[in-house]
Amino acid sequence: MRILIVNPNTTASMTAKLAAVARRVAAVGTEIVAVNPSYGPASIEGYYDEAFAAPGLLELIAKAPDFDGYVIGCFDDTGLDAARALAAAPVVGIGEAAFHAASLIAGKFSVVTTLARSVAAIEHNLVRYGFAARCAKVRASDVAVLELEEKGSGARAKLSAEIARALAEDGCEAIVLGCAGMADLANSLAQEHDAPIVDGAAAAVKFCEALAALGLKTAKRGGYATPQAKTYAGEFGRHSP
Amino acid sequence: MRILIVNPNTTASMTAKLAAVARRVAAVGTEIVAVNPSYGPASIEGYYDEAFAAPGLLELIAKAPDFDGYVIGCFDDTGLDAARALAAAPVVGIGEAAFHAASLIAGKFSVVTTLARSVAAIEHNLVRYGFAARCAKVRASDVAVLELEEKGSGARAKLSAEIARALAEDGCEAIVLGCAGMADLANSLAQEHDAPIVDGAAAAVKFCEALAALGLKTAKRGGYATPQAKTYAGEFGRHSP
Amino acid sequence: MRILIVNPNTTASMTAKLAAVARRVAAVGTEIVAVNPSYGPASIEGYYDEAFAAPGLLELIAKAPDFDGYVIGCFDDTGLDAARALAAAPVVGIGEAAFHAASLIAGKFSVVTTLARSVAAIEHNLVRYGFAARCAKVRASDVAVLELEEKGSGARAKLSAEIARALAEDGCEAIVLGCAGMADLANSLAQEHDAPIVDGAAAAVKFCEALAALGLKTAKRGGYATPQAKTYAGEFGRHSP
Amino acid sequence: MRILIVNPNTTASMTAKLAAVARRVAAVGTEIVAVNPSYGPASIEGYYDEAFAAPGLLELIAKAPDFDGYVIGCFDDTGLDAARALAAAPVVGIGEAAFHAASLIAGKFSVVTTLARSVAAIEHNLVRYGFAARCAKVRASDVAVLELEEKGSGARAKLSAEIARALAEDGCEAIVLGCAGMADLANSLAQEHDAPIVDGAAAAVKFCEALAALGLKTAKRGGYATPQAKTYAGEFGRHSP
Amino acid sequence: MRILIVNPNTTASMTAKLAAVARRVAAVGTEIVAVNPSYGPASIEGYYDEAFAAPGLLELIAKAPDFDGYVIGCFDDTGLDAARALAAAPVVGIGEAAFHAASLIAGKFSVVTTLARSVAAIEHNLVRYGFAARCAKVRASDVAVLELEEKGSGARAKLSAEIARALAEDGCEAIVLGCAGMADLANSLAQEHDAPIVDGAAAAVKFCEALAALGLKTAKRGGYATPQAKTYAGEFGRHSP
Amino acid sequence: MRILIVNPNTTASMTAKLAAVARRVAAVGTEIVAVNPSYGPASIEGYYDEAFAAPGLLELIAKAPDFDGYVIGCFDDTGLDAARALAAAPVVGIGEAAFHAASLIAGKFSVVTTLARSVAAIEHNLVRYGFAARCAKVRASDVAVLELEEKGSGARAKLSAEIARALAEDGCEAIVLGCAGMADLANSLAQEHDAPIVDGAAAAVKFCEALAALGLKTAKRGGYATPQAKTYAGEFGRHSP
């Protein structure tokens, strides 16, 4: 089985981190390929960045039609719906994967993400997916995405402090890490706080494997129908379905 | 007051139609400018098209920072959240405008849109905005967007038949037309069916005027905070905030 | 265009304040007429007052059938449903207008109203209209309605302090002022707190203008059907439909 | 124990019917007094009628402060919130009583009411009270309220046919009769359809008895706080709290 | 009328307390019989205890088919759905009874229960029944169920302190006591806090009397249909329907 | 990795079917053990059967503490919450697994289950888990559970016909099979209807593997806390935690 992980931002160190996390949990026989676009935002922190990350993400999926599953490596699930319309194989976002995993092991979870500006998009996804009542609170840790890539930035300490507050105040039973860049911290934070800490990147890989093994593909009647052939003008002509 | 209407697809006849509808309802002293991107999909029918329409839309807004308000001329409210983060002045989508207007004149409304593939995105928006319980049903009329631009396509008849079914079966009190390309049909359909028929394009112009006159601008604490300066790589470098 | 603003309480200074706010935002060519009943409560603070304010409000609307739109000048939207059934032209409540306006410029808003006893009715309206998930919190400032009419009452300071708490604690992005008597304070409070402060009275005027310009009237199939002719006994005989 | 049933319309035959139904189910030792206002609408069919029924209803409650409980004898629960603020003893509406009773004996129920114009107000109450997900459908039987008082009107047959449709199509397990004037038909309809048929008038009497026996009174912190003393002008001066 | 109260745990002192509370509020002519299983958990604190309490509860109901109503004497409403399927007469749980009673006298209530582990089951019930939006918060008082049976355990003081916090912080108007073992404390706590304190055990008895007097029985089309005859193997053979 | 599948009914042919389905999808290195209780109902069709299936299910899990994950092989997710409190390793119900899988590949799904009496419990689970808005409809096919075990019963044809109706009428994009006994039919039905058909048994095995591989265990703060040591009287003494 081959799974393509697309990091929709252009920061290669995050792509490498996603690949490492994925390979750690992948089943025997699962090949992990991790890529990122050559154009677009260096990190995704809010709706504007999302809009410019989606085309590169979709292009990478379009160019790799033979994979058995696709993982979108941004907690916002950037471009997830469009990717599902495009791909034949299942597509799983790391945000939704984390919510599904947390819901299978806890009554309520809290999300700890990066900046306050990212909270709204996560809350929107929770509402749309159906997890709003399962999520106690979405919290910002005031850590920028790229700080997670810098040694000595103090990012882990800020994140850990916010997790402690969530467990003390929210009535939550598990924590979801709200950024792909936090994937490598899940295990040590789980030990530190003696609570389940869910990393969506690892979860998305396993759920993608699961769907592929089950022979399930995205439904093509409704919103995920294959895009209709039509003219795309100008510089986006090459993306025409 | 100057309002910029951005049709996020590249079909100039739809842009012209939006401009005409807008000028018909605009207040004395409101200048309407209507534009569309030079690149991207010719029509927006589903999530994939949306993803490739958003960059062009945002570029047009970024290049026109001095307007008093912006209208997004697609019923999916393509790129609305990103546009709000980008612009200083208010931004109104024609989908949301139609839902707001219908909610002010009816207890429940139904939406009649183009193709079945467009229903899911509209339902998602209704849930996110808070209008899910106000909408009786989202219906597809099986009319493609560009058929609305072709004389003799039979589009109006199909649309009218679906409106009749909605009024008979849904328990709705008003109808929302679910595509920008239907804007010119609202008045005649309202007379034909003796029921309020809401065209979001005209509504968006009036609500945009209203917000501007009230001196209200998009809140900048939270999800609509101004995009952070950061590197955008490659061909999207010019869109870097 | 002529818009009738009905203040459903009997306090003429509030009626005058509403008229002034309305004229400040009305479009060129919009004539504002503001009235209040000669009988009923001097202010509306809770359900009991509402019940005795509605008849006078409805009588004023019934006597003025030729207006192009009606604004109900109480944040509880007193009698709104009955007024919609009665009037041919659109009717907009200042509470709902504020919620609509806030939803067009912010992901989440908080409401700051007068007394604790008024919170429940506002929360009920938010649920019914569909805005419950858009409203972070409804807060009481412990200012009585008529204190807002008295110089030196300290009302503005209490209100401002509650707004500051809302912005600090609620995760809201904008503030809705929860009483018609606060209409004149919106602009200075917005500057003080550097956040959008929505006054429903001004918003209702603009939305009323918008609906009238769009040619939209209240739907008459369903709950807003014109009242059936029937006998009203005794002192209410004159209100018989 | 003494319970006051207030029929908020002026039709004495309905008041007598309510009294008869109440006495049939009242406990030994419960005295039933049934009254109606001398002024206001002859029947309540929509929001406008409600607004003119509430003052008379509240006046009757205000004049009878020594009762152990109050029942509001209209399925719309006309004036319920205001009556709760006014009265010391518990107040139960027949609409809410029916919803509570049906929820205690069935997973889902449908409501069969009179005219289409009454559906919206019932749906609003279901949403506000929390019963929206327990109600499969609110159906109109196209029977006017006063037809229920006329022999030979065919009202019972129309009602029975609509009940049959509800049981066949809605997935409901019990039926709520959606008008006070149907109270005398519940038993025979239950036998005819072999399903629980809930009459809210009888239910309200029993729940009112129950609350009184439990020593529970309406909470007075929040929306049901006792109305504040204040000036009521003109012809409503006598209603001033 | 004869009502069977089944305490689903095996602690006879709690059964006796339930009987005493029930007899205090029962109508003249209502005979109260209170029983508990001879096998199963001594108290119910969480889902595992619930699962082993249900068989004994159901066996006691099956053996007593001639009662006019049944009360399940655990705040979790242990086995309520199964009991409804089994019994011909109405079945009322003390948790649901408390929620219904509180909803009839207050806009919002908070629940104060025993241990944190019991909160989730109560929240689940609130969601299922439809009361989620009526409940401000479910709070644990950190009192174990059997502490309520021990003099000098300090249980009442802890409970009272949590009630005070609920009234101060939750915006609730009434308090629901979240354990059958608290039934005898409701009156004194109500006086102490000057707020309605709802004991579900007493409420369930009165609602059970009410349903029986109304002639209402559990609907038998749908989830509460009488269990189908089928083989139960082994030690549960005697429970076969 | 070792996964224990517990069929909570006593029908060995269903247990064998579950084992076969599980082994078909299990990863290399996953050992599947499938068991059923020796006492309790032969099939689970409604709440009463569920109550008598849970003890045997829990006993089997308690006796097998060393597994890496547990699957509950009934679509009702019988005893799921209690099993989570009991077990250290993750526990997945086949109902919830199917809902999660369907949500990852479709916007909306319908459930096709056995008898009408089973619909309510499934709807309750959908509400509790958060999937209510993702499920278009829960449909009964009028096939008894044990008919699925009998050749020549016509069960598959009835099921297929109901799936066809769901796809035609519900606006759903995928189908969830609502009974463990349907597990072997998923693939052929998917081909027949050209739509994703989700079998929860296979899905639960894969999600259980996924959670175990991720190192995630059920959260133990809150409703799933390990049962407290306490006395269980009589014949249930051996189940005492």
What pLDDT was estimated at residue B151? 84
CATH code of the domain covering residue B171: 3.40.50.12500
CB F69 within 8 A of CB F52: no
Name beta bridge partners: D2.
Answer: D31
Residues A100 and A195 in one domain: yes
Does the pLDDT value for residue C195 go beyond 90? yes
Chain F nearest C-alpha distance from D100 (Å):
18
What pLDDT was estimated at residue D150? 86
Chain D nearest C-alpha distance from E133 (Å):
7
Closest by alpha carbon to C46, among C185, C148, C126, C140? C140
F168 CB-near residues (< 8 Å, 6+ apart): none
Question: Does the model's pTM come out above 0.80?
Answer: yes
What distance in Å separates the CA atoms of residue D109 and residue B183, rounded to the nearest whole number? 41
Mean pLDDT of D24-38: 96
Count of other CB atoms within 10 angstroms of residue C24: 15
Residues E40 and E70 in one domain: yes
Interchain CB contact of C126 with E (< 8 Å): no
Residues B104 and B182 in one domain: yes
Interchain CB contact of E212 with D (< 8 Å): no
Check CB contact under 8 Å for E28 and D27: yes
Disruptive mutation site among B113, B123, B128, B138 for chain F (greatest number of F CBs within 10 Å)? B123
Chain F, residues 18-47, CB within 8 A of chain A, namely 25, 27-29
ipTM of this predicted complex? 0.96
Name beta bridge partners: C70.
Answer: C4, C91
Q: How many CB pairs under 8 A join C and D?
A: 165
What pLDDT was estimated at residue C110? 98
For E199, which residue in chain D has the nearest alpha carbon? D214
What distance in Å separates the CA atoms of residue E60 and residue A220, rounded to the nearest whole number? 52
For C107, which residue in chain A has the nearest alpha carbon? A120
Chain E nearest C-alpha distance from A107 (Å):
7
Angle of CA points C50, C54, C56, to nearest 5°: 130
Residues B135 and B184 in one domain: yes
For A234, which residue in chain B has the nearest alpha carbon? B39
For C83, which residue in chain B has the nearest alpha carbon? B105
Partners of F226 on chain A (C-beta within 8 Å) are: none
Interchain CB contact of E233 with C (< 8 Å): no
Kindly tell me whether chain D and chain A come into contact, counting contact as 3+ Cβ pairs under 8 Å: no
CB A103 within 8 A of CB A135: no
B238: three-class secondary structure by DSSP:
helix
Check CB contact under 8 Å for A241 and B85: no
Check CB contact under 8 Å for B108 and C211: no
Q: Which of A106, A130, A132 sits opposite F219 (nearest CB)?
A: A106
What distance in Å separates the CA atoms of residue C122 and residue C139, rounded to the nearest whole number? 10
What pLDDT was estimated at residue F152? 86
Closest by alpha carbon to C219, among C43, C56, C91? C91
What distance in Å separates the CA atoms of residue D193 and residue E105, rounded to the nearest whole number? 33
pLDDT tens digits, E1-49: 999 999 999 999 999 999 999 999 999 999 999 999 999 999 999 999 9
What distance in Å separates the CA atoms of residue D164 and residue D181, rounded to the nearest whole number? 19
CB B103 within 8 A of CB B109: yes
Check CB contact under 8 Å for B52 and A232: yes
Residues D30 and D70 in one domain: yes
A189 CB-near residues (< 8 Å, 6+ apart): A159, A160, A163, A175, A177, A197
Closest by alpha carbon to D138, among D75, D84, D83, D86? D75
What pLDDT was estimated at residue D145? 85
What pLDDT was estimated at residue D151? 84
Query: Higher pLDDT residue, C57 or D181?
Result: C57
Chain B nearest C-alpha distance from A187 (Å):
29
Residues A143 and A208 in one domain: no
Cα pseudo-dihedral D175, D176, D178, D183, rounded to 10: 100
Interchain CB contact of B133 with D (< 8 Å): yes
Residues C128 and C187 in one domain: yes
Closest by alpha carbon to B10, among A15, D56, A233? A233
Partners of D127 on chain B (C-beta within 8 Å) are: 133
Whose tokens are 């355990």? That residue is E153
What distance in Å separates the CA atoms of residue C82 and residue C224, rounded to the nearest whole number? 8
Kindly tell me whether chain A and chain B come into contact, counting contact as 3+ Cβ pairs under 8 Å: yes
What pLDDT was estimated at residue D146? 87
CB A72 within 8 A of CB A46: no
State which amino acid sits at residue C207: F
Does the pLDDT value for residue F75 go beyond 90? yes
Check CB contact under 8 Å for B103 and C134: no
Chain E nearest C-alpha distance from A82 (Å):
33
Number of residues written out for chain C? 241
Residues F124 and F75 in one domain: no
Does the pLDDT value for residue F145 go beyond 90? no
For C210, which residue in chain B has the nearest alpha carbon? B206
Query: pLDDT 10s per residue in chain B (241 long)?
Result: 999 999 999 999 999 999 999 999 999 999 999 999 999 999 999 999 999 999 999 999 999 999 999 999 999 999 999 999 999 999 999 999 999 999 999 999 999 999 999 999 999 999 999 999 999 999 999 998 888 888 888 999 999 999 999 999 999 999 999 998 898 999 999 999 999 999 999 999 999 999 999 999 999 999 999 999 999 999 999 999 9
What pLDDT was estimated at residue A53? 98
Disruptive mutation site among D48, D81, D84, D115 for chain C (greatest number of C CBs within 10 Å)? D48
Partners of A28 on chain F (C-beta within 8 Å) are: 27-29
What distance in Å separates the CA atoms of residue F190 and residue A219, rounded to the nearest whole number? 11
DSSP B231: -
Check CB contact under 8 Å for A131 and F132: no
Residues E85 and E139 in one domain: no
Read off the tokens for A214.
Answer: 């089950």
Q: Which domain holds residue D141?
A: 95-200
Q: How many domains does chain D have?
A: 2
Residues E120 and E79 in one domain: no
For A84, which residue in chain F has the nearest alpha carbon? F105
By CB atoms closer than 10 A (0-12, 13-18, 19+), residue A194 is exposed
Residues C183 and C206 in one domain: no
What residue ranges in D7-153 does DSSP mark as E strands?
Answer: 31-35, 40-41, 69-72, 91-93, 109-113, 135-140
For D83, which residue in chain E has the nearest alpha carbon? E105
Interchain CB contact of A105 with F (< 8 Å): yes
Mean confidence (pLDDT) of chain D: 96
Interchain CB contact of C227 with A (< 8 Å): no
Residues F68 and F186 in one domain: no
Partners of A127 on chain C (C-beta within 8 Å) are: 133
Name beta bridge partners: B111.
Answer: B138, B176
Check CB contact under 8 Å for B171 and D127: no
Residue D10 pLDDT level (bands cut at 50, 70, 90):
very high
Check CB contact under 8 Å for E51 and F54: yes
The ranges of chain A with pLDDT < 50 are none
What distance in Å separates the CA atoms of residue F185 and residue F159, rounded to the nearest whole number? 10
Chain B nearest C-alpha distance from A238 (Å):
10
For D106, which residue in chain F has the nearest alpha carbon? F120
What distance in Å separates the CA atoms of residue A31 and residue E105, rounded to the nearest whole number? 62
What pLDDT was estimated at residue B158? 95
What pLDDT was estimated at residue A151? 84
CA E134 to chain centre: 18
pLDDT tens digits, D153-176: 899 999 999 999 999 999 999 999
CB B185 within 8 A of CB B176: no
Partners of C127 on chain E (C-beta within 8 Å) are: 133
Check CB contact under 8 Å for E223 and D25: no
Does the pLDDT value for residue C145 go beyond 90? no
Q: How many CB pairs under 8 A join A and E?
A: 6
A32: three-class secondary structure by DSSP:
strand
Interchain CB contact of E116 with F (< 8 Å): yes
What pLDDT was estimated at residue D71? 98
Chain C nearest C-alpha distance from B30 (Å):
11
Read off the tokens for B174.
Answer: 């008003």
Helix pair angle (F186-193, F155-169), 10° resolution? 50
Check CB contact under 8 Å for A129 and F103: yes
Residue E153 pLDDT level (bands cut at 50, 70, 90):
confident
F37 CB-near residues (< 8 Å, 6+ apart): E233, E234, F6, F8, F9, F10, F53, F55, F56, F57, F59, F60
Chain D nearest C-alpha distance from E221 (Å):
6
Chain D nearest C-alpha distance from F159 (Å):
19
pLDDT tens digits, B167-192: 999 999 999 999 988 989 999 999 99
What distance in Å separates the CA atoms of residue C12 and residue C7, rounded to the nearest whole number? 9
Check CB contact under 8 Å for F90 and A104: yes
Interchain CB contact of F122 with D (< 8 Å): no
